[in-house]
Amino acid sequence: MSHPAATLCIVFTLSIDAPAAGAARLRLSGHFDDVAARQVLHAAADAVQCGCSRLVLDLDGLSSWDDEAVFAVTGCTRLARWLTDGVAVVAAISPGKDLADRAGIGVPAMMATCPAC
């Protein structure tokens, strides 16, 4: 009797913490798809509405991403206009680095490691 091949499902995880006073860090891991993109945008907007002064978007835990992830990352970086200390994108390794490049934020001046990480 043969068994059907198991389907590998890569789950997306979003964790939120505060690496420093006034900062909110969104750590993304797994597969970043359209559902995850909505979750990330909502979480980022909530952080801004709650009064944080800096948003850190950590992409280093990603294993893969869909095109919708590009729009979510771009949307998060555009929130910088409402944040005193702006938005930092942590994307030192692929596929997170590839996503940052595709979103047009691969310029070293816009990418920074969170000093509290």
pLDDT in tens, 26-50: 999 999 999 999 999 999 999 999 9
**Quick check: 34 and 65 in contact, CB under 8 A?**
no
Q: How many domains does the chain have?
A: 1
Tokens of 111: 């990418």
Q: State whether residue 111 is helix, strand or coil.
A: strand
Name the residue with tokens 């970086």: 77
Strands (E), the chain: 13-17, 23-32, 54-65, 87-90
What CATH number is associated with residue 54?
3.30.750.24
Using one digit for the tens of pLDDT, what is the confidence trace for 68-104? 999 999 999 999 999 999 999 999 999 999 999 999 8
Is 50 domain-assigned?
yes
Give the C-alpha separation, 47 to 52, whole Å.
Answer: 6
Q: Is residue 5, in this structure, part of any structural domain at all?
A: no
Question: By residue range, what is the domain housing residue 72?
Answer: 15-102
Q: Are 56 and 36 in contact (CB under 8 A)?
A: no
